[in-house]
Amino acid sequence: MRLRFCVPILFAVAMLTGTAFGQRVSLNVPPRDTDSQISTNLEAHYCELNPAVPPKNRLFVFLPGTGGTPAVYKLVCDAAADQGFHVVGLNYPNDEAVNALCAGGTDLDCYGNVRLETLDGTDRTSLVDVNRPNSIENRLQKVIAYLNGRFPNGGWGQFLEADGSVKWPLVVVAGHSQGGGHAGIIGRYRPVARVIMYAALDFNARTGRLANWIAFPQNTPNATPPDRFWGFIHQRDELVNPTLTTTLGWPAYGMNAFGPVVNVDSAFVPFSNTHSLTSNLDLPDASGNFHGMIVVDVRTPKLGDGTPVYKPVWDYLLTGKPASTVGAFRPAKGFTYLRNSNTPGFADREFFYGTAGDIPVAGDWDGDGKDSIGIYRNGTFYLRNSNTAGFADLQFPYGAPGDLPIVGDWNGDGVDTVGVVRNGRFLLRNANSAGPADLDFFYGTATDLPIAGDWDGNGTDTVGAFRPSNGFVYLRYSNTEGFADVEFFYGQAGDRPVVGDWNGDEVDTIGIYRADAVAATFFIRNSNSSGFADTSFSYGTPGDLPVTGFWGS
């Protein structure tokens, strides 16, 4: 059952999970304790971890709005900690609003210059004076290093590169108002795991145009793909125009490609899997404002037990990637049976595609955030952009008869492309078209079954091998030759491997499909390690071939 965004269910969720919430460990860290050269905005960073929940191995960084400090945004940080994130509510130079600083003129580069100087401390404008020690980047890397020094077994060191800089691909960066704008520009200039913008927009009223850094992503590094940008705003926000935000700002980030704007007040979680969320709830008290209501501690409405009403929204924004579910391809007659949950039951969608003897594949061929079916037949791929019967949308030769097909997003651009494996040789292509391999390397043995997934959550798929003779799994974090980065036993001889993000945490993990004369059963695991299945269920019939993906339902 999906959770409707309503008070009775939220209350039940809070009651059931209160024990784990009580295990949070938080620490207020004065910036100068981490770097004596930091000289402004000295209120403490708010750092947090909940050791009672499995770690996501992701760092949640929250940037306050103008004049705000991490102390007024603890609830959203608590929500992240309870999801398994390491958390840093970062204090940084935010005394003046970027939109106010740039509103007096018509320079649409002003906004980006102010924000980038605040980010890295490089002098770009006279409107702010932020040097390197006081910059967001320096403050963040120094507080991570400080926490790693104090708590060497706490996992903080994983968020730093060997040179001490921030390992941005492991960072979810979020912020409110001015902080939300900083989160957005960080996403444009740094490759982060996710961007969450609460009530944030850079818009010049004199020209009626967006700031250039938003409007023209092609003129920025565009380091984070559009599918990782998410936003939330109140429909009656007094400071940031919600209409301009939802109709101009969010589409400029590319967020409209992942669903329409959804009002969370009466919608179901997961909100149609959109990235664009609004609310129109009334203020909890007359002293508040709609701008702060969606995320500021004292402004946001709460249930009787103190649970923030918007907590399901915050949770969704943090981990809103849809989970993978299973399907079955019946090679005897070319029918596909897709299921929208990892449970036994009838197919939610079934259709004819392919012929007897085809090998099924699944991927997001057009970058719309949804997986659809394809088949591999004697050296030719036939890919379809919807899970319906019909002709192939993409058809091209690649590989040779006898090759095993493999699918993944090899370059992190949000589109899955094909590859083939030939006697342990991986030939991967970055476009769904005929042509030479973009990546060509050996991994595993000739009798291994190839697999691919985003094993470390960095947005790029890499290869692995399942050894059907003994059930060992060998995963590699780069698409190159070399030893396994992770290896473990899972399954048994004769099993077929499957891969998916079963819990929506943006990390792909292993599963197996085991069929005998009587039943076909999936055993899926939420971590890439030995152990018992986290979920097991029967689906399909013996002789079916498994497929996995997010089918868009």
Write out pLDDT tens, residues 414-459: 899 999 999 999 999 999 999 999 999 999 999 999 999 999 877 7
- 370: which residues sit within 8 A by CB, 6+ positions away? 364, 550, 551, 552
pLDDT band of residue 55 (cuts 50, 70, 90) is confident
- Report pLDDT for 13: 27
User: Residues 47, 26: contact at Cβ < 8 Å?
Assistant: yes
Percent of the chain whose predicted confidence (pLDDT) is above 90: 79
d(CA 249, CA 254): 9
Half-sphere exposure of 336 (CA within 13 A, CB side): 29
- Report pLDDT for 333: 85
User: How is 96-159 classified by DSSP, letter by letter?
Assistant: S-HHHHHTTS--TTHHHHHHHHHHH-----TT----TTTSHHHHHHHHHHHHHHH-TTTTGGGG
- Report pLDDT for 369: 73
What is the pLDDT averaged over residues 482-505? 92
Burial 146-157 (b: 16+ CB within 10 A, else e): bbbeeeeebbbe
- 512: which residues sit within 8 A by CB, 6+ positions away? 471, 490, 491, 495, 496, 497, 498, 522, 523, 524
The identity of residue 305, as a single letter, is D
Q: Is 476 exposed, middle or buried (0-12, 13-18, 19+ CB in 10 A)?
A: buried
Instruction: Return the SS3 of 32.
Output: helix
Q: Token digits for 22? A: 């009580």
What are the helix (H) ranges across 125-263?
A: 136-150, 178-189, 212-215, 242-244, 250-253
pLDDT at 361 over 70: yes
Work out the number of other CB atoms within 10 angstroms of the CB of residue 468. 16
- Report pLDDT for 519: 87
Burial 539-551 (b: 16+ CB within 10 A, else e): bbeeebbbbbbbb
Percent of the chain whose predicted confidence (pLDDT) is above 70: 95
pLDDT at 1 over 80: no
pLDDT at 94 over 80: yes
Average pLDDT value over all residues in the chain: 91
What is the pLDDT averaged over residues 306-328? 88
What is the pLDDT averaged over residues 381-407? 96
Interstrand relation of 276-279 and 262-263 (parallel, antiparallel or unpaired): parallel
What is the pLDDT averaged over residues 342-363? 93
User: How is 294-348 classified by DSSP, letter by letter?
Assistant: TT-TTTS-B-TTS-BTTHHHHHHHHH-SPPPEEEEEETTTTEEEE-SSSSSS--S
d(CA 288, CA 415): 43
DSSP state at residue 247? I
User: Rounded to the nearest 5 degrees, what angle is found at the Cα of 460, between the Cα atoms of 457 and 463?
Assistant: 100
pLDDT band of residue 22 (cuts 50, 70, 90) is low
What's the first-to-final CA gap in the chain, in angstroms?
14
d(CA 250, CA 381): 35
- Report pLDDT for 113: 98
Q: Token digits for 234? A: 């109140």
Beta strands in 160-311 (DSSP E): 171-176, 194-198, 203-204, 209-210, 229-234, 262-263, 276-279
The identity of residue 260, as a single letter, is P
- Report pLDDT for 553: 53
Best CA proximity match to 188, nearest among 93, 102, 254, 98: 254
User: Residues 546, 522: contact at Cβ < 8 Å?
Assistant: yes
What is the pLDDT averaged over residues 180-208? 97
d(CA 80, CA 74): 10
d(CA 394, CA 434): 11
Tell me the C-alpha to C-alpha distance, in Å, between residue 247 and each of 253, 458, 511. Answer: 11, 29, 41
Q: What class does CATH assign to 7-319? A: alpha beta
pLDDT at 393 over 60: yes
User: Rounded to the nearest 5 degrees, what angle is found at the Cα of 210, between the Cα atoms of 209 and 212?
Assistant: 115
pLDDT band of residue 285 (cuts 50, 70, 90) is confident
Q: pLDDT of 228-279, one tens digit each?
A: 999 999 999 999 999 999 999 999 999 998 889 999 998 877 787 799 999 9
